[in-house]
Amino acid sequence: MKNKVRLGVNIDHAATLRQVRGATTSYPDMLEMVKLAKAGGAKQITIHLREDRRHIQDHDVISLCKKSPLEINLEMGATNEMLKIALKNKPTWVCMVPEKRAELTTEGGLNIVKGFKNLETMTHKLAKAKIKVSFFIEPSLAQVEASALAGAHAVEFHTGHWVLLSGAKKKAEYNRLVLAAKEAHRLGLRVHVGHGLDYAHAKLIKSLPHLVEANIGHSLICYALTDGLKLSVKKMVKALN
């Protein structure tokens, strides 16, 4: 029997709603979002502390790493500033992501091959502090192999392109995901996925070989406007399993 796929709920866009009025409101409360996600069956909370602090703030990282009843997966750019923040706050996971200030959302995977030396050094420091590391990458065999060599514990495949494609191109992209997932498993890496996933695509991606975890945010916050976060998370857990 296939193991259940863990759901990590990304609450960045709950923080976006709070920040949109210049941080003049204290709501929505991020810890309350965590509690609702847990009640719906989430196993992890994902937060992205961006360089421009457009949603999650430093105080959120500090508070959630101390008080969250669920594991925290901190997404961050591969910078010395973010490394210091991670080492100080000790999330369970750090997910290294590419980051460009002008982008609306993460547009692609991190280039592990190009940034290998820096990523290997950072991964070693995080692992020494007992923080597990994943890399957010495209479903590329070269990137998977570089991730393993750099010491990552997991790779999170960028599913955003696959979600937006259709027909033969969508099938081809899924085949790339399958090959990359098999290679990651062969090299001892956990297989995670994230970006752009809604209920329909959660039902499709659950068949990906060796899939352990899906991190989903934007669609869940949108669904929560009608169903509430607890029920939306519950529906997503069902879709994944």
206's CB contacts (< 8 A; 6+ apart) are 5, 239, 240, 241
Q: Is 124 a catalytic residue?
A: no
Question: Which of the residues 153, 161, 192, 195 is marked catalytic?
Answer: 195
How many C-beta neighbours within 10 Å does residue 170 have? Answer: 15
The DSSP secondary-structure symbol of 208 reads S
Q: Is 195 a catalytic residue?
A: yes
Burial of 104 (C-beta count, 10 Å sphere; 0-12/13-18/19+): exposed
Question: Which of the residues 48, 158, 161, 192 is marked catalytic?
Answer: 48
Do the beta carbons of residue 173 and residue 160 sit within 8 Å?
Answer: no
Backbone angles phi, psi at 119, to 5 degrees: -70, -40
Instruction: Report the alpha-carbon distance of residue 28 to residue 1 in Å, rounded.
Output: 39
Q: Is 32 a catalytic residue?
A: no
Question: Which of the residues 13, 75, 192, 201 is marked catalytic?
Answer: 75
What residues are annotated to the active site?
Answer: 48, 75, 195
